[in-house]
Amino acid sequence: MTNPKTKFIFITGGVVSSLGKGLASASIAATLQGRGFKVRLRKLDPYLNVDPGTMSPYQHGEVYVTDDGTEADLDLGHYERFSGVAATKDDSITTGKIYQRVIEKERHGEYLGATIQVVPHVTNEIKNFIISNLTDEDFVLCEIGGTVGDIEGQPYLEAIRQVAYDLGRDRVMFVHLTLLPFIPTAGELKTKPTQHSVKKLQEYGIQPDMLLCRSQMPIPENEKRKLALFCNVKEENVITALDVSNIYLVPLAYSQEGMDAAVCRHFGISTDEPSDLSKWQRIIDTIKAPEGEVTIAVVGKYTKLLEAYKSLHEAIKHGGIANRYQVKIKWIDSEKLENEPAGDYLNDVNAIIVPGGFGQRGTQGKIEAIKYARENKIPFLGICFGMQMAVIETMRNVCNVKNANTTEFDPKCEPIVGLMTEWDKDGNKEIRTQDGDLGGTMRLGAYPCRLTTNSKVREIYGTGEISERHRHRYEVNMKYEDTLNKGGMIISGKSPDGKLPEIVERPEHPWFIGVQFHPELKSRPFAPHPLFVSLIKAAIDNSRLV
Ligand code: GLN
């Protein structure tokens, strides 16, 4: 049973993909929060993978990890950044997961001999996901992945139609995000693709209540009227979703076009008071009037698809906002540093980040970047794989252990970084083997970490115990701690049982930190992550030296 006061908003997309449904959903949530409502955001992905964890970042962008260890679509990152509400396993589903549940039930005989079908068994499982595990939310916003008309999206559309039928239209709103392309030869914005896409939705029994129309220019009133008439949507609910230069402008921009007012009217909520978006305004003011600019190099493997580093990109921006500085990111393909001197690429940057990654390609280039940062005293942050490489760099180049490496791709090396075979999770032992399943089996989600007194990280965090999110299979081997210390690197953060190294730093360097976790996943525009705030500050100090 859902709480009778909880209302559901379903966001679908039409015409083309990549219109920013995730941002639109997150922005609706933010504007409703500005009206004092409690929100929850959920994502339903029609693809067959159980989760995006085993997909290449080139396929699906970054894999976002929640506190409870769910590997989820990167839109959950937008949700968390915009709403500040931490997502859980109950907020992300895929067709793979739905079928897994249905088939498990079938094997257990739970369907009592019935023939298992897409309708009702798959659709019921989707409906359960939508309405389950809620408390006292005012609004639950569910984004349906893909584009209306996709074959794999059909069960989702049927399920949300049924939710509206079950709960009543006064508790459900359908928002459809579309594109009005501008055709230069005609000099016009075109509404026809939107009309077709709405017709398609209507075929599934869904009448959208609001159209959010992505457009590169304001939509003329007569075009809005046309859309309203042909799509059967109230004219004031045809909302212009103009292109904006920065994603944090979206909530204010869409709100000014009447987006959240339309939501309120739909549910019979008074719109006398506008949404309080002053905190967004403050962010925008800072973005628009920075005091200076610094350049941060990100030396990684997926630099051709920046979606692969979505949270990192945002966390860097947040660090900039906190320092009132604009941050320019120089994306560098690490393979480039394998054939050319690192300085050719890095001599004009104020800080260097080596982010997370998997596999061998480009590794040597990352090590070159780290060596350059260490030797030239450039602020450096290594994240996950970047931290592991920073340890290997010190081992090879300072401690003279020439075959120092990770067993991830060199089983015969001096195993500075090795497969994690067992660790503690909430008092229970997690055990893994070399040939186990790849999906969902990494060390995932939030783990506590103790910080060493007098360390730089202790000072940056301002506390002795932190919790950060993980996604890795390998770890630095603690038995090399003494050797590392001799090489000028200390382990300044460890798991509470002292068995797993979580943070390394170089006390003699102005700012050199490697973390086994992903701090970027917890950074918010309103609560920038302390490591990124401090790194950008160090980059600013560094820029003044140059
Ligand atoms: N490939 C490394 C591991 O599995 C690092 C993973 C990461 O950077 N997220 O430990």
Nearest atom in ligand 1 to 356's CA: 8
pLDDT, residue 546, reads 57
CA 239 / ligand 1 centre spacing (Å)? 43
pLDDT, residue 136, reads 94
Q: Which of 384, 399, 413, 449 is catalytic?
A: 384
Alpha-carbon dihedral of residues 183, 186, 189, 194, nearest 10 degrees?
Answer: -80
Contacts 24+ apart (CB under 8 A), 397-402: 397/371, 398/487, 398/488, 398/489, 399/483, 399/484, 399/486, 399/487, 401/483
Q: Which of 313, 472, 518, 529 is catalytic?
A: 518
Alpha carbon nearest to ligand 1 atom 5, residue = 385
CA 515 / ligand 1 centre spacing (Å)? 11
Compute the 3-state secondary structure of the chain and give helix, strand, coil in percent, each to the nearest 5: 40, 25, 35
User: Is 480 touching ligand 1 by the criterion CB < 6 Å?
Assistant: no
pLDDT, residue 426, reads 77
CA 297 / ligand 1 centre spacing (Å)? 20
CA 338 / ligand 1 centre spacing (Å)? 21
User: Is 320 touching ligand 1 by the criterion CB < 6 Å?
Assistant: no
Pocket test for ligand 1, best of 472, 477, 500, 515 (most atoms within 8 A of CB): 472
CA 39 / ligand 1 centre spacing (Å)? 33
CA atoms within 13 A on the CB side of 165: 10
Is 384 labeled as catalytic in the residue annotation?
yes
Is 520 labeled as catalytic in the residue annotation?
yes
**E strand or H helix that includes residue 385:** helix 385-397
CA 471 / ligand 1 centre spacing (Å)? 7
Is 399 labeled as catalytic in the residue annotation?
no
CA 387 / ligand 1 centre spacing (Å)? 9
Nearest atom in ligand 1 to 358's CA: 1
In order along the chain (546 residues), what is the average pLDDT of each group of 10 residues?
Answer: 88 91 96 97 94 80 93 94 96 96 94 94 97 96 96 97 96 98 93 97 97 95 96 96 92 95 96 92 92 96 84 96 96 94 95 93 95 97 97 97 92 90 76 71 92 97 97 94 96 94 97 98 96 98 75
Nearest atom in ligand 1 to 473's CA: 4
Query: Is-contact 350 479, C-beta < 8 A?
Result: no
Nearest-angstrom CA–CA distance, 215 and 20: 12
Coil, strand, or helix at residue 93? Answer: strand
User: Is 432 touching ligand 1 by the criterion CB < 6 Å?
Assistant: no
User: Is 57 touching ligand 1 by the criterion CB < 6 Å?
Assistant: no
User: What letter does residue 92 receive in the DSSP assignment?
Assistant: E
User: Is 385 touching ligand 1 by the criterion CB < 6 Å?
Assistant: yes
Nearest atom in ligand 1 to 359's CA: 1
pLDDT, residue 22, reads 94
What are the φ/ψ torsions at residue 75 (nearest 5 degrees)? -60, -25
Alpha carbon nearest to ligand 1 atom 8, residue = 356
Nearest atom in ligand 1 to 474's CA: 10
pLDDT, residue 440, reads 66
Query: Is-contact 21 174, C-beta < 8 A?
Result: no
pLDDT, residue 298, reads 97
Nearest-angstrom CA–CA distance, 40 and 92: 12
pLDDT, residue 299, reads 96
